[in-house]
Amino acid sequence: MPKIRQCQPCTACCDGWVQMNIMGADVYPGCPCPHSTGKGCNDYANRPIDPCDNFNCGWVIPNSPLPDWMKPNEAKVMVLFNKFQWRGVPVDVAIPVGKRIPPRALNWLKQFAEQHGRPLVYLEQEILDGKFQKDQQAIAYGPPDFQQEVAAKIAQGHRLWH
């Protein structure tokens, strides 16, 4: 039987750490969803299918490999498994809940990437004048070819995923 986890009281995805648009409102670091209460959604019954209902936090997906301590509001990282593909291999994305992913969580994710042959892209928040910026810095972890291809895409202004 799959392990089932509950989001609440975590609202990291709603609090702007993941960039998205909710019914016309841009959500990004420093700019949470207008429906987030910090403990849930004040309009949960009417939340949009995309992106809210379709969002797949790696901690709550069935049979998540993430340990219990990596709940996003506690570990300060959200993991999106198989966010895009590189040469037919799934690439996982880690998003900080705050400025950076804490070392314990980042080390766990790097070890997981190595053990499972899954390249990792992790983000760091850009801060200017004490405010989070919409842009985030992406760091590639994995084979040298993967790191070079990600760096080239970023340098050319290409998105890594949609």
Give the pLDDT confidence of 101-135 residue by residue, as tens digits: 999 999 999 999 999 999 999 999 888 888 888 78
Q: Return the domain boundaries, the chain.
A: 20-155
Q: 30 pLDDT exceeds 90?
A: no
Surface-to-core class of residue 112, CB atoms within 10 Å of its CB (0-12 exposed, 13-18 middle, 19+ buried): middle
Mean pLDDT, rounded, of the chain:
91
What average pLDDT does the segment 19-41 reach? 88
Confidence class of residue 18 from pLDDT cuts 50, 70 and 90?
confident
User: What pLDDT, on the 0 to 100 scale, is given for residue 109?
Assistant: 98
Which segment of 3-7, 82-86, 111-115 scores lowest on mean pLDDT? 3-7
**Identity of the amino acid at 151:** A
Q: How far apart are CA 61 and CA 38, in angstroms?
A: 21
Q: How far apart are CA 144 and CA 147, in angstroms?
A: 5
Which residue would you say has higher pLDDT here, 4 or 74? 74
Q: 2 pLDDT exceeds 70?
A: no
What average pLDDT does the segment 29-35 reach? 90
